[in-house]
Amino acid sequence: MNLQQQALSELQQRIDSAMNVAGRTDSITTVVVTKTHGADMVQNLYDLGIRDFGENRDQEAKPKSEAFQPLEIDYRWHFIGQLQSNKVKSMLSYSSALHSLDRSSLLSELTKRVERELEVFIQLNLTDDPNRGGINPGDLVEFGENVVTNPLLKLMGVMAVAGLDQDPRSEFEKVAKLSQKLQEIAPGATFISTGMSGDFEEAIEFGATHLRIGSLITGNRNSIT
């Protein structure tokens, strides 16, 4: 059994038990984040049954997506990092989902360039600093209304990264409330992308539907690039 196989099975057990504790029977998507690892890692994970892969830099993801070419197109790339507007076209060439729609200028660029359906999550700014990346809670509804005017952008819901020095529970609770608010104008936007290696159990408790798990599965960053 290789390291990833072991780690995936341990992760699945922890997810199942967190779902049980939360009394949840809905399904959850685990996006395995392969950043800093090569296409060989993606292939290894694919052979172990993983079909959702996450990347946070286009410069790295684009060549990796080209190097990884299994026979069947039954897998998806999720773009999860901050994206420069001039990389939108490239990102669209391989991504099925964008978890980090975090500003109006990015939305404009997407609207200009999108040619087939893209799933999008609105990234929230949970800090008290309105100048940090992400949509401020007070602007979420208006921003969501702008997203849904484009039929090719499928608004999935909200995404957030819990602050390092914050209690993840209180942050995920905020996210859950904002998700409800967004659903008032976009009833289909029921999904929540929260939870990383260090806080996915808390995220599940507060309704996460898409986990983005890297180091717990792939080992330390940069160890196998």
Ligand X SMILES: *Cc1c(COP(=O)(O)O)cnc(C)c1O
Binding residues (CB under 6 A) for ligand X: these are 33, 35, 56, 80-81, 161, 196-198, 212-216
CB of 177 to ligand X, least distance (A): 21
Cβ-based nearer residue to ligand X, 35 or 103: 35
CB of 78 to ligand X, least distance (A): 10
CB of 113 to ligand X, least distance (A): 22
Cβ-based nearer residue to ligand X, 152 or 223: 223
Residue 136 in tokens: 């401020």
Burial 195-219 (b: 16+ CB within 10 A, else e): bbbebbbbbbbbbbbbbbbbbbbbe
- Quick one: DSSP state of residue 103? S
Pairing verdict, β 153-159 and 118-123: parallel
CB of 184 to ligand X, least distance (A): 26
Which candidate, 122, 105, 134, places its Cα nearest to that of 182? 122
**SS3 of the chain: helix, strand, coil, percent, to 5:** 45, 20, 40
CB of 187 to ligand X, least distance (A): 26
Other beta carbons less than 10 A from residue 153's beta carbon: 20
CA distance 134 to 161: 10
AA letter at 127: T
Cβ-based nearer residue to ligand X, 168 or 214: 214
Cβ-based nearer residue to ligand X, 122 or 196: 196
Cβ-based nearer residue to ligand X, 147 or 216: 216
Comparing every residue's Cβ against ligand X, the nearest one is 214
